[in-house]
Amino acid sequence: MSRADLLTVPCFWGIIPYRHFGIDMGDGTVVHLASIDGDTSQMEVQRVPLEQFAAGKAVLVEQVSGSLADDQVIERALAAVGNTHYHVALGNCEHFARLCKTGEHVSHQTDRLLRGAIRVGLAGLASATARTAGSSATAGVAMSRTAGIATLVGEAARHGAYALSRCAKVEHRQAERIGRGVGAVSAAVAGYITKGPAGCASAATMYFTVDAMSQNAMHQMQSNAKKTAE
């Protein structure tokens, strides 16, 4: 670890794993967005000892591309100390730390969670719609239902592959690509096992269609949030 590094520690919200982020000041302290006296409804950008930031957990350095100059990272972090702002979706600890480090207001964890929820919702909707469709298109209904379920299987595999890749210290974008590929293969295999080659093709098509739709939905949400902030 060194000055201006983007640091992370593993944490849990109930049973949900996530990573907490901060900026290494290079003097044994870390600037991060954290709760005030343990009250998660009150958040503040704080400068704390590294030991307090780590809280007994392993501290990792998050690899990023396009980092700002070290002095600029430090300046941005210090300038924010004392600010009290927090929004789990639009302004959490990762948003803050990445904004200091790269100048980009982004949280990969939040984006993945929202995109995953959208994909699961779309796949579940396709499966539910197929179950309630009329009997006049029995074969097509059965295939759509299979594709929807296979896409859900692919989504679970996608998240698992991403998590394992990140545990192996694979950079976020590469881990996303690995997860997407594993998810697509898993969906296709699930479709093949259920309905043969036609099921495989149908599942793969739905998987990538749902993926594209979730991306478009996220871009629209981010665009609307940016306009609201402005």
Higher pLDDT, 8 or 43: 8
Whether 89 has a pLDDT exceeding 80, the answer reads no
Q: For CA atoms 219, 89, 155, 119, give the dihedral sign.
A: negative
- pLDDT class of 165 with cuts at 50, 70, 90: confident
Task: Estimate to the nearest angstrom the gap between the alpha carbon of 14 and the chain centroid.
Answer: 17
Question: Would you state the torsion angle of the CA atoms of residues 75, 3, 92, 86, taken in this order, to the nearest 10 degrees?
Answer: -40
Considering the domain 6-106, what is its CATH architecture?
A: Alpha-Beta Complex (3.90)
Domain spans in the chain, listed from the N-terminal domain onward: 6-106, 109-229
Report d(CA 57, CA 65) in Å as an integer. 25
Average pLDDT over residues 148-175: 84
How does the average pLDDT of the chain come out, rounded?
82
